[in-house]
A = this chain, B = another copy of it.
């Protein structure tokens, strides 16, 4: 299942890890910004970690630090006690699970799968159903926070599904996050994530509109940020993003296309529930214009560039 070199690693190293550390074997699927940061912290914390990514070259940094590399999600799941995944959207989350050598192909009784991707509820429930039907345990656990908090273990984990698995995984969550919420049945984590990210999208659009109209009105951008800092809207996101927006720097902590996706999914959730969300819908259209302007892979705060044009 694993490539020759990797297979050897696993064959030999794993047993020792299990014996020496008492920690479970953990897998991590998806080496994007968040996934690689979380897998790296787990590795640093002494967990035996096996990683996988669709483009394998993204695994090399962690491999160099001691992570094993699996050749497919199936192989990782078969090898590990608990397998985490963090992919970029519902489609890739499904692919990782339902693909030919996907998670599902490796699940059997005793295996645990924790999906930390931000997906819609339907996707999460389909995955839960499939995993538990094969005897596995499932927890959805999307996170709130972006690159910085991920690297510093300051994410917020929004877990829902199998409570016993949540308890067992707490040691891992403590390594990547500062707080874990258990929110109930599968789907609740997805919904919480969407709600919070929808608000994040609206608020960065609000900052963009405020800076745009304010600076056009002759105010200093920095004065606006300082006044905000003294007031009721003082929040980490404004302190973090405001100055870089004024400088026109948009290194992606949270890519704009993912931010837009989350606002879109939240608006779709409102549609299902008959909840009108006019402000979110307006923000969504602005993010779409930004995506259409080619900013999808830049930081979500680059929405400022289309707002002020």
Min CB gap A239→B, angstroms? 9
Check B195–A214 contact: CB distance below 8 A: yes
A305 part of interface (Cβ distance < 8 Å): no
A136 part of interface (Cβ distance < 8 Å): no
In the assembled complex, which residues on chain B have CB atoms less than 8 Å from the CB atom of A266?
213
Check A214–B233 contact: CB distance below 8 A: no
Check A279–B286 contact: CB distance below 8 A: yes
Given A195-B210, A209-B270, A232-B237, 15 more A-B residue pairs with CB atoms under 8 Å apart are A144-B231, A156-B227, A156-B231, A181-B223, A192-B227, A199-B210, A200-B233, A202-B202, A202-B206, A209-B277, A209-B279, A233-B236, A235-B238, A278-B282, A281-B284
- Given A181-B223, A279-B279, A288-B275, verify A199-B188 contact (CB < 8 Å): no
Min CB gap A252→B, angstroms? 15
A43 part of interface (Cβ distance < 8 Å): no
Query: Which A residues from 245 to 294 make CB contacts under 8 A with B?
Result: 264, 266, 268-271, 273-286, 288-289, 291-292
Min CB gap A245→B, angstroms? 14
Min CB gap A290→B, angstroms? 9
- Give A280 to B158 CA distance when docked, in angstroms: 30
Interface of A is mostly: helix
Min CB gap A296→B, angstroms? 9
Check A234–B236 contact: CB distance below 8 A: yes
Min CB gap A234→B, angstroms? 6
- Give A195 to B200 CA distance when docked, in angstroms: 19
Closest 6 interchain pairs by CB? Answer: A274-B292, A232-B237, A235-B235, A282-B282, A202-B206, A276-B289
In the assembled complex, which residues on chain B have CB atoms less than 8 Å from the CB atom of A291?
274
- Give A182 to B279 CA distance when docked, in angstroms: 33
Determine which of B219, B235, B277 lies in contact with A232 in the assembled complex, contact meaning CB atoms within 8 Å: B235
Check B210–A196 contact: CB distance below 8 A: yes
Min CB gap A25→B, angstroms? 29
Min CB gap A229→B, angstroms? 9
A212 part of interface (Cβ distance < 8 Å): yes
Check B236–A232 contact: CB distance below 8 A: yes
